[in-house]
Amino acid sequence: MLRTLAFTLFFLMPGLAWSSSDAIDLLERMTRAGKELTYQGVFTYHNDSAIQSVQIYHRNNELGEMERLISLNGAAREVIRSNDMVTCINPEVEQVNVSRRPLGQGFPSDLPRRLRSATPFYEVTLGDIERVAGRQSQVLAITPVDDYRYGYRMWVDIETDLLLKSELLSETKAVLETFSFSSIDTQTPIEDHQFKAQTGGHEMIWYQSEPGTPLDTSSDKLISNWQANWLPEGFSLVAAQNRLRANNGAYVEQRVYSDGLSAVSVFIEKTRSRPAHLLGVSNVGAMNAYGKIIHAHFVTVVGEVPAHTVEKIGTNITFQLSGTAP
């Protein structure tokens, strides 16, 4: 019903349709700006349990994208990304983890990457002009049509189209997470040495995750005995992989379902590989998780969606013996 109402409003109200199209165009420009421009600055990430200030360097040239994030609070953790290869340096536990970018995750500016396919499930409108990090910005509101996903408010730099601030909103409109630049520079070139790790003086243990095996998501029922029998309207399987868990040698199947903007991951692992596991609902900030045991496997649903969404998805996952899938 809500989806039908959204479609009806979109096509019957010329002003709203024009405004939504204009807002989506701005979101697409914002996504390109976040990937293509060179910039450096300091942003703050805030959820209900932590406030983190981060220095960011980002550059895109003939060698591709380079990005370095340095935590300015507590231990000097660093994340260095070269295209899709991510290196996480954590001096607090003396570890370096190298892997390809996890499925369905990325810098906040990646959020609206596939928004055009998600528009039936969100109303996207332009708001006022407000000032963030000393720059004029256009406010965007992304409001879901049901209570199975979160909404967003975004502030986009009028001069460069870069995302300057975003808020993640619960189904009751409460602010769950805030990302906001306090300063940003788009004019100064960034030298190569600024993408090198500065953390030193520690003996580090290196871990490298093997790339997962991509699965053919177009033949969902053929590639897995696991079936998601309920998903929010508009969600579909967008990525899947089998990967080897580094710490215990067990295989984990990961399936990512998305409507184009919101996403949930389903992790499936044999119970013998880990004695303790989440059962029921848990949350950290805006991230909710639901775990249960099905057919001697731990099944965990995780996503930045409301708690009742991950629980409903998890309780509707079933195991189908070969040849018995519906």
pLDDT at 10: 33
- Rounded to an integer, what is the distance from CA 251 to the centroid of its chain? 23
Domain-located, residue 325: no
Full domain range(s) for residue 301: 226-319
Question: Are 69 and 151 within one domain?
Answer: yes
Domain-located, residue 220: no
Helix spans in 177-253 (H): 220-223
Helix spans in the chain (H): 2-12, 14-36, 115-118, 220-223, 307-315
Question: Are 168 and 291 within one domain?
Answer: no
Domain-located, residue 6: no
| Residues 182-217: b if buried by 16+ CB within 10 A, e if exposed | eebebeeebeeeebebeeeeeeeeeeeeeebeebee
Distance between CA atoms of 163 and 166, rounded to whole angstroms? 8
Q: What domain count does the chain have?
A: 2
- Hey, is 137 helix, strand or coil? strand
Question: Are 201 and 239 within one domain?
Answer: no
Residues of the chain predicted below pLDDT 70: 1-20, 92-117, 199-224, 244-249, 272-276, 322-326
Place of tokens 């024009």: 18
Question: Are 197 and 236 within one domain?
Answer: no
Question: Are 145 and 56 within one domain?
Answer: yes
Question: Are 254 and 286 within one domain?
Answer: yes
CATH code of residue 242: 3.30.200.100
Question: Are 233 and 160 within one domain?
Answer: no
CATH code of residue 191: 2.50.20.10
Answer with the one of 177, 207, 237 that is the final residue of a domain: 207
- H helix count then E strand count, the chain: 5, 21
262 phi and psi angles, rounded to 5 deg? -90, 155
- Rg for the chain, CA atoms, rounded: 21
Answer with the one of 207, 237, 262 that is the final residue of a domain: 207
Question: Are 185 and 253 within one domain?
Answer: no
- Hey, is 29 helix, strand or coil? helix
Question: Are 197 and 291 within one domain?
Answer: no
pLDDT at 285: 80
pLDDT at 261: 83
* DSSP code, position 173: S
Domain-located, residue 61: yes
Question: Are 154 and 265 within one domain?
Answer: no
Q: Which DSSP string do the residues of 283-302 spell out, in sequence order?
A: EETTEEEEEEEETTEEEEEE
Question: Are 132 and 77 within one domain?
Answer: yes
Domain-located, residue 287: yes
Domain-located, residue 76: yes
